[in-house]
Copies of this chain bind each other. A is one copy, B any other.
């Protein structure tokens, strides 16, 4: 196995990065579930064998489907940057307990964000979850920049 995996921080990073990326990917089947149960599709070929009138009724946007899609998009906008900056951060040799705290807080904040978005919970719960994740990524980015700065 690569020597990177002899490093405890890199092991933890791999685990948490995989978990949050899997969480992002699970938004896709969730969208499909909402599309079928709410009867709201985006493509003509997704409603085969229907009359023209039925198609017109099924090819529409539905507020609950759009909510899941916005949640998915928010994951892409926050989790991918976390993974990229977290990878570089893990390579800077940070303190193990600090790194673990960052990873745990980020993963928890994104799970809570999804719950707050999908249910939905009243604000500012979703806003706070989102901000927590942003702050963790900014802290890691700060260390990457101070350790590697080379323009």
Contacts and interface: CB of A to CB of B under 8 A. Distances in A.
A147 to B, nearest CB: 7
Interface residues of A, number: 58
A121 B45 contact: yes
Count of this chain's copies in the oligomeric assembly: 3
A15 B148 contact: yes
A13 to B, nearest CB: 9
A147 B14 CA distance: 10
Contacts of A151: 12, 15-16, 104
Nearest to A47: B123
20 contacts: A2-B93, A4-B91, A5-B147, A11-B148, A12-B150, A15-B148, A15-B150, A16-B151, A18-B141, A18-B148, A21-B141, A22-B81, A22-B141, A24-B81, A25-B77, A25-B81, A25-B137, A44-B120, A45-B120, A83-B84
